[in-house]
Chain A
Amino acid sequence: KNEVEQSPQNLTAQEGEFITINCSYSVGISALHWLQQHPGGGIVSLFMLSSGKKKHGRLIATINIQEKHSSLHITASHPRDSAVYICAVRGADGLTFGKGTHLIIQP
């Protein structure tokens, strides 16, 4: 069974700061997802990637398959980016989720 670890668990930063959230997993996967969960509970899929790097607006996700590690970066962070960011990996037994990183961006 895959173990998914995220760091940090909690992160508070000032508006405009560059944010990095890390995810590592223990077993080979076919894809990795980055998800955003808002205080109301809804989940939004940000990225799905299996290699390299993807960019969408101010968000960048990278994955290193050999090191079993992925990072999510937020450039020019804004208070509306405040949410829980969840890493989930797809293996043989469905999606395994990390515990999430609770991000707060202060104005």
Chain B
Amino acid sequence: EPEVTQTPSHQVTQMGQEVILRCVPISNHLYFYWYRQILGQKVEFLVSFYNNEISEKSEIFDDQFSVERPDGSNFTLKIRSTKLEDSAMYFCASRGQSNQPQHFGDGTRLSIL
């Protein structure tokens, strides 16, 4: 069965550095998402992406964050100047049509030192 894949599985970065989290959604999917889960807390929506543009974003998704689909297969989340509080598990998800469920990747654990 096709899967959403995320790399790396664990990223350790110094505070203030830029980080790019990568996702390869399922190939014929049209809608793409990033979520965040701080350790011990609930999953939070960050952003959704459709037709090469952001369709929705939460208040967490400020100017520090950006998303891109650079080559038709990858979907990336960039955090420009990381802060300690950005440490979390970041999940990518994708879905096909609007009446289909989202498929999640296994997540990237981001640790900011």
Contacts and interface: CB of A to CB of B under 8 A. Distances in A.
A93 B33 CA distance: 13
Contact of B43 (A40, A44, A88): A88
Interface in A25-69: 33, 35, 40-45, 47-48
Contacts of B37: 41
Interface in B46-76: 48, 56, 58
Contact of A45 (B44, B58, B104): B104
A103 to B, nearest CB: 16
Given A41-B89, A43-B107, A100-B42, A33 B102 contact: yes
A33 B101 CA distance: 8
A95 interface: yes
Nearest to B106: A42
Given A43-B91, A47-B101, A48-B100, A97 B43 contact: yes
Contacts of A94: 33, 45, 48, 56, 58
A42 B5 CA distance: 11
Interface residues of A, number: 20
21 contacts: A33-B101, A35-B104, A41-B106, A42-B104, A42-B105, A42-B106, A42-B107, A43-B43, A43-B104, A45-B101, A45-B103, A45-B104, A48-B101, A86-B43, A93-B45, A93-B58, A95-B33, A95-B35, A97-B42, A97-B43, A99-B41
A35 to B, nearest CB: 8
A65 B16 CA distance: 45
B22 interface: no
A93 B56 contact: yes
B3 to A, nearest CB: 10
